[in-house]
Structure 1
Amino acid sequence: MAEHPAYPVGLRLSGRRVVVLGGGQVAQRRLPALIAAGADIVLVSPEATPSVEAMADTGEITWQRRPYAEGDLAEAWYALIATSDPRANAQASAEAERHRVWCVRSDDADQATAWTPATGHSEGVTVAVLTTDARGRDPRHTAAIRDAVVEGLRDGTLVAPHHRTRTAGVALVGGGPGDPDLITVRGRRLLAEADVVIADRLGPRDLLAELPPHVEVIDAAKIPYGRYMAQEAINNALVEHARQGKAVVRLKGGDPFVFGRGMEEVQALAEAGIPCTVVPGISSSISVPGAAGIPVTHRGVAHEFTVVSGHVAPDDERSLVDWPSLARLTGTLVILMGVDKIGKIAETLVAHGKSPETPVALVQEGTTAAQRRVDATLATVAETVRAEDVKPPAVIVVGAVVGVGPHPTA
C-alpha cells in the first residue's frame, strides 16, 4: 500500500456517523471541520480538553466518557483514532479494517486507511493538499503549499477565471486608509475578479496597477458635472456596467459607510434592482492616528472617541455637528475632511469650554509613504496648518491621547 499514492476524495459526511477516539489536541484541531461537515460525531474518551468538552456541552458532539471498546466503530462511516494508548489505537484500527471504515490514525499514518490533507478555504473553494509519496511525507511542506494557494486565492494574486455566467452585481469595497496592504482579504479578492473598477482618489491607488489589462478603471474623481452630479454619475455608471453582466467593484477609501456616501450608492443600486455586496474597510479615523502612534483611547486618558466630519464650518447652516456638546466631552475628537476649516473649528471648541492648550495632531497622507504628522494645540493649530502647509487628506486628532505615545517626528 505504501508504494501507491493516496486517492484524493471529498467525503460527504452530513448526518453520517463519525467516531473520534481520544479527546486531546488532535481531536481539538480536527473536530471543527467534522462539525462543519454536518457529521453525527461520537467522541469516545475518558478525558477531553476544555475546548472539546465545550463542543460536547453545546451539543455539537456526543461524548461517551470512557476508553475505546470493541464495537465502537460499528455503523461508522469514518473514524479518527487519536488516543494516547498505542494498543487501543491498533485494536481500533483493526476493527475499522474489518468493518471497512475509513480510518485516520494520528500515531501511525502508515497503518491508516485514510490521511487527512492540509486544508484551507476561500469563498466556497476548499483546497486540500496531500503528499503523493508516502515515503517522503513532510507535513510542514504540505501545509506551506496549502497556505500559499489559499493566500493567493484570498489576496487575488492567484486568480482562476469563472467559466459559468456570474450574477450581475456590484461590490462596494472599503479600500482602507491608503496603504494597499490594509485592504481586507475579501476586498482584494473581489478587486482581482472585477471587470470594471470605479475608484475614488482616496482609495489604495497602488492596487490598480496590479489589475489585468482587460479591466476597465473609471476614475470617480474625474466624472463631470460637479460634486452632486458626480455622485449621480457614479450611481449611473455602477448600474450601467452591472446591467451589462460585468463584475463591478466600487473601490472607496476607508470604509464605505464612514463619510463615504456608500449608502447613497446602495440605495441607487437597490432602486435599479442590482444586487450589492458591501465589504467593510479599515476606517482612517482609527487607522491613521494609530499609524502615527496615537491611540484614540487609552486607559486613564480617554474612555471615548468621537468621529465627525469637518467639511463644513461650525457656523455653516448645513452643519449637523453639535460642536458645543463636543467641546464639553473629555474624550478624543477625530475630525475628517477638516483641514481647511480647522481654524474655525478650534475657535468654536475653545469658545464652548475646551482648553486652548488641548493637544492637536494632524496626520497627512496617513499609512502611505508620504505620511507626516504635525502637532499643535487648539490655540496654534490654524497658524500651524498654514506654516506647515498641511494639505488634505489629513486626519485631525484632538485630545490628551496626542501626547501619550513617543515624541512625534515629522
Structure 2
Amino acid sequence: MAEHPAYPVGLRLTGRRVVVLGGGQVAQRRLPALIAAGADVHLVSPEATPSVEAMADAGEITWSRRRYTEGDLEGAWYALISTSDLEANNLASAEGERRRVWCVRSDDADRATAWTPATGHSEGVTVAVLTTDAKGRDPRHTAAVRDAVIEGLRDGTLVAPQFRTRAPGVALVGGGPGDPDLITVRGRRLLAGADVVIADRLGPRDLLAELPPHVEVIDAAKIPYGRYMAQEAINNALIEHAKQGRSVVRLKGGDPYVFGRGMEELQALAEAGIPCTVVPGISSSISVPGAAGIPVTHRGVAHEFTVVSGHVAPDDERSLVDWASLAKLTGTLVILMGVDKIGKIAEALIAHGKPADTPVALVQEGTTATQRRVDATLATVGERVRAEDVRPPAVIIVGPVVGVGPRPTE
C-alpha cells in the first residue's frame, strides 16, 4: 500500500458517525473541522484537554469517558485514532479494517488507511494538500504549500479567475490604521477582485499599487482644510459604478463605522437597491496606541476606555460630546480627529475636574514607517502640539495608561 500515492477525495460527513479515539492535542486540532462538516462525532477517551471538554459540554460532540474497546467503530464512516496507547491504536486500526472504516493514525501514518491533508479555505474553496510520495512524507512541506496557495488566493498574488458571472455590488472595507499588513484577510481578498476602488487618504495606500492595471482607482481623499470629495459625490460614485455591473470596493481607513460615515454610504446604497457587504477593520483607536506601546486598558490602572471625535471643539454648539462627564472618568480617553482642537479639549477637561498633570500621548501616522509619539500632560499638550508640529492623522490618548509601558525613546 505504501508503494502508491493516496487517492484524494472529499468526504461528506454530515450526519454520519465519526469516531475519535483520544482527547489530546491532535483531537483538539481536528475536531473543529469535523464539527464544521456536520459530522456526528463520538469521542472515546478517559481524559480530554479543556478545549475538547468544552466542545462536549456545548453538545458539539458526544464523549464516552473511557478507553477504547472492541466495537467502538461499529457504524462509523470515518475514524481518527490519536491515543497514546499503541496497543489500543493497533486494535482500533484492525477493527477499522474489518469494518471497512477509513482510519487516520496520528502515531503511524504508514499503518493508517487514510491521511489528513493540510487544508485551508479561501472564498468558498477548500485547498487540500497531500504528499504524493508515500515513503517520503513531509507534513511541514505540505503545510507550507497549503499556506502559500491560500495566502496567494487571499492577497491576490495567485490569480484564480471566476468563470461564473459575479454579482455586482459594493463592499465597504475597513483598511485598518495604515500598515497594509493590518487589513483583514477578507478585505484584502475583496480588494484583489475589485473592478473599481474608491479609496480614502487614510486607507492603506500601499495596497493600491498591487492592484491590476484594469482596476479603476478613484481618490476620495478628504484632506483637512484642503480638497475633498463631498460625501454625496462618493455615494453617487458607488451607486453609479455598481449599477454598471462592476465590483466596487470602498476602501476606508480604520473601521467603516468608527467615525467613517460607513452607515451613510450603506443607507445610500440600500435606497438605490445596491447590495452591500461590510467588512470590519482594525480601528486606529486601539491599534495605534498599541503600536506606540500604550494599552488602552491595563489591570489596576484602567477598566474602561472611551473613544470620542475631537473634530468639533467643546465650546462649539454642534458638539455632541459630554466633556464634563468624560472628565470624571478614571479610565482611558482616546480622541480621534482632534489634533487642532486638543488645546481647547484639554482646557475643557481640566475645567471639569480632570487633573492638569494627567498624561497625554499623541501618536502621529500610527503603524506606518513615519509613526512618531509625542508625550505631554493636559496642561502642556496644546503648546507641545505646536512646538512639535504634530499633524493629522494622529490619535490622542489621555490617562494613566500612557505611562504604563517603557518610556518612548527620543
Task: Name the TM-score, length of structure 2 as normaliser.
Answer: 0.92
1:76 alignment partner AA: A
With over 3 angstroms needed to count, the CA separation of the structure-2 counterparts of 1:252 and 1:112, relative to structure 1, is same
Q: 8 Å contact 2:358–2:377 — kept in the other structure?
A: yes
- The aligned runs of 1:43-54 (5 Å cut-off) are 43-54=43-54
Q: Describe the superposition over 1:154-177 as per-residue Cα deviations: whole angstroms up to 9, x where unpaired.
A: 333333221111122211111111
**Structure 1 CA distance, aligned partners of 2:12 and 2:289?**
48
Q: 8 Å contact 1:195–1:248 — kept in the other structure?
A: yes
Does structure 1 residue 186 correspond to structure 2 residue 189? no
**Structure 1 CA distance, aligned partners of 2:295 and 2:54?**
36
- The aligned runs of 1:37-76 (5 Å cut-off) are 37-76=37-76
Deviation for aligned residue 1:229: 7.0
1:193 alignment partner AA: G
2:197 alignment partner AA: V
Deviation for aligned residue 1:129: 0.8
2:177 alignment partner AA: P
With over 3 angstroms needed to count, the CA separation of the structure-2 counterparts of 1:209 and 1:104, relative to structure 1, is same
1:17 matched to which residue of 2?
17
- The aligned runs of 1:71-90 (5 Å cut-off) are 71-90=71-90
Task: Structure 1 unaligned segments of length 5 or more: list them.
Answer: none
With over 3 angstroms needed to count, the CA separation of the structure-2 counterparts of 1:204 and 1:18, relative to structure 1, is same
1:409 matched to which residue of 2?
409
Deviation for aligned residue 1:32: 2.1
Q: 8 Å contact 2:103–2:112 — kept in the other structure?
A: yes
**Structure 2 CA distance, aligned partners of 1:45 and 1:302?**
43
- The aligned runs of 1:6-405 (5 Å cut-off) are 6-221=6-221, 230-405=230-405
3-state DSSP of counterpart to 2:194? coil
**Structure 2 CA distance, aligned partners of 1:378 and 1:59?**
53
Deviation for aligned residue 1:80: 2.3
Q: Describe the superposition over 1:249-284 as per-residue Cα deviations: whole angstroms up to 9, x where unpaired.
A: 111111111111111011111111112111111111
**Structure 2 CA distance, aligned partners of 1:259 and 1:181?**
22
Task: Structure 2 unaligned segments of length 5 or more: list them.
Answer: none
With over 3 angstroms needed to count, the CA separation of the structure-2 counterparts of 1:214 and 1:45, relative to structure 1, is same
Worse overlay, 341-350 or 50-59: 50-59
**Structure 2 CA distance, aligned partners of 1:300 and 1:93?**
54
With over 3 angstroms needed to count, the CA separation of the structure-2 counterparts of 1:302 and 1:18, relative to structure 1, is closer
**Structure 1 CA distance, aligned partners of 2:176 and 2:24?**
41
Q: 8 Å contact 1:373–1:409 — kept in the other structure?
A: no
2:3 alignment partner AA: E
Identity fraction in percent? 89
Deviation for aligned residue 1:14: 0.8
**Structure 1 CA distance, aligned partners of 2:324 and 2:45?**
64
Q: 8 Å contact 2:222–2:228 — kept in the other structure?
A: no
3-state DSSP of counterpart to 1:221? coil
**Structure 1 CA distance, aligned partners of 2:175 and 2:146?**
27
**Structure 2 CA distance, aligned partners of 1:359 and 1:91?**
67
With over 3 angstroms needed to count, the CA separation of the structure-2 counterparts of 1:106 and 1:318, relative to structure 1, is same
**Structure 2 CA distance, aligned partners of 1:69 and 1:302?**
54
Deviation for aligned residue 1:9: 0.5
Worse overlay, 148-157 or 31-40: 148-157
1:104 alignment partner AA: V
With over 3 angstroms needed to count, the CA separation of the structure-2 counterparts of 1:269 and 1:402, relative to structure 1, is same
Aligned-residue Cα RMSD (Å) equals: 2.3
User: Number of aligned pairs?
Assistant: 408
2:335 alignment partner AA: I
3-state DSSP of counterpart to 2:230? helix
Deviation for aligned residue 1:228: 9.3
2:368 alignment partner AA: T
Q: 8 Å contact 2:307–2:335 — kept in the other structure?
A: yes
With over 3 angstroms needed to count, the CA separation of the structure-2 counterparts of 1:68 and 1:362, relative to structure 1, is closer
**Structure 2 CA distance, aligned partners of 1:92 and 1:403?**
59
